[in-house]
A and B are shown apart, each in its own frame.
Chain A
Amino acid sequence: MSNKETPDLQGWSRNEMASRLAEDIPEGWYVNLGIGLPTLVADHIPSHRDVVIHSENGILGVGPRPPTAAADPWLINAGKQHVTLRPGGAFFNQAESFGMIRGGHLDLCVLGGYQVAQNGDLANWSLDSDAAPAVGGAMDLAVGAKRVWVIMDHLAKDGLPRLVTRCSYPVTALGVVGRVYTNFAVFDVGPQGFCVQRINPGLTLKDLQKLTGAPFISA
């Protein structure tokens, strides 16, 4: 499958995707943001909102990135970028941080993805290549958080769809993904598979189906 029929369509930008996801996070939630695109979601949560960001290296209440000169060398996020701490923030050790994750205390985890299958399986840690594998906290987050939302490009670099009937890459966790945000659409993942909630205005449902590797229903 390829996107030849809609060659110019870029869909929503990364910031638009992140902003859309941020708006869907209710007040009061504790949220972990994965490395890469998910981290961008933090930039779209204004400081007046009580959404508490968790970083698996042992921080609750992660604030925005500091100006370079003001960076605290002791304060980094899971992506090893300098961050700040919001008033009310707290530090804790690694075992406690993952106890929090595994124990179901996080309302939401936002992860990047290589593939999401219609049964909610997630593949996001290994492309099965010769490079050394690196899993970090992805498997713990995927099974531990109350909800897992994935934010990713709709198509892989080679043009193949990332929403699939079954993951071909090594899975991170089975049946965990509840929602997927792509540059073309937003899908819920439930017992009936993918259900499209929003679609980019540049696309029809028919276009979207051509770009998606699994059937979906529409809400």
Chain B
Amino acid sequence: MIGGFGAVGQPNALIEGLIETGSNELTIIANNAGSGREGLARLMELGRIRKIICSFPRQPGSFVFEDLYKRGRIELEIVPQGTLAERIRAAGAGIGAFYTPTSYGTVLGQGKETRDLNGRMQVLEFALHADFALIEAWQADRWGNLSYRGSGRNFNPVMATAADTCIAQAHRIAELGQINPNEIVTPGIYVDRIVQRDA
């Protein structure tokens, strides 16, 4: 799992680290499929990604993804954005599956179990868990408490809950107690490692 919406809140330093480890054949869960040649797009261009699960792979500058997709070099699973977020939330909250009206009657709902709930047709969707979540925060402390900034929150707090190992890159490392407890969005229980981004 890789946090971020567009370039905001995308943990590029951690993606660089992932590239250095040499990992390949990866399945990536992210909202977008990268832009330009940095971060997620670079990981993709290096051929490390086998499959991407996302809601919106096309955006200005997503030429790396589009080229790989046209050449059949990357597998794509399209998930409506809210269903993607909720599948991740469910995994973090110990819920195996849920019904949602989203995608009922569309090609993305085809072949899925459906049920009439309170007079409305809904589609069964399963929790989406990952081995690793790479996320970006604004501040972090050594217990892994995190705060975010602006629209940089997006997928990061939910992804933090839904992986075996969550690694957060933060712009600032704070002492314990320095982040106002009222402003901690991700409590440290979810976070395994923190990395300070170059100042």
Which residues of A approach B to under 8 Å, CB–CB? 55-59, 72-77, 80, 85, 91-95, 97-99, 101-102, 126, 130-140, 143-144, 170-174
Q: A72-B150, A76-B6 are in contact. List 18 more A-B contacts (CB 8 A).
A: A56-B81, A57-B6, A58-B5, A73-B8, A75-B8, A76-B151, A80-B6, A91-B151, A94-B31, A94-B81, A94-B155, A97-B82, A135-B56, A135-B79, A139-B80, A139-B82, A140-B83, A143-B104
Residue B102 interfacial (CB < 8 Å):
yes
Find residues 95-115 in chain B having any chain A CB closer than 8 Å to their own CB.
Answer: 100-108
Note all chain A residues with C-beta closer than 8 A to B60.
80
Decide: A135 and B5 in contact? CB cutoff 8 A. no
Decide: B76 and A132 in contact? CB cutoff 8 A. yes
Task: Report if A135-B154 is in contact (Cβ < 8 Å); known contacts: A74-B149, A94-B85.
Answer: no
B185 — nearest CB in chain A belongs to which residue? A93
Chain A facing B: main interface SS: loop
What are 13 contact pairs spanning A and B, CB under 8 A? A55-B151, A56-B81, A56-B82, A58-B151, A80-B59, A80-B60, A134-B55, A134-B57, A139-B106, A140-B82, A171-B105, A172-B106, A173-B104
Give A170 to B101 CA distance when docked, in angstroms.
17
Residue B28 interfacial (CB < 8 Å):
no
Question: Given B33, B76, B105, which contacts A174 in the complex, CB threshold below 8 Å?
Answer: B105
Residue B129 interfacial (CB < 8 Å):
no
Note all chain B residues with C-beta closer than 8 A to A91.
148, 150-151, 153
Note all chain A residues with C-beta closer than 8 A to B101.
102, 143-144
Question: Given B82, B107, B156, which contacts A137 in the complex, CB threshold below 8 Å?
Answer: B82
Note all chain B residues with C-beta closer than 8 A to A102.
82, 86, 100-102
Task: Report if A135-B55 is in contact (Cβ < 8 Å); known contacts: A74-B8, A76-B6, A98-B85.
Answer: yes
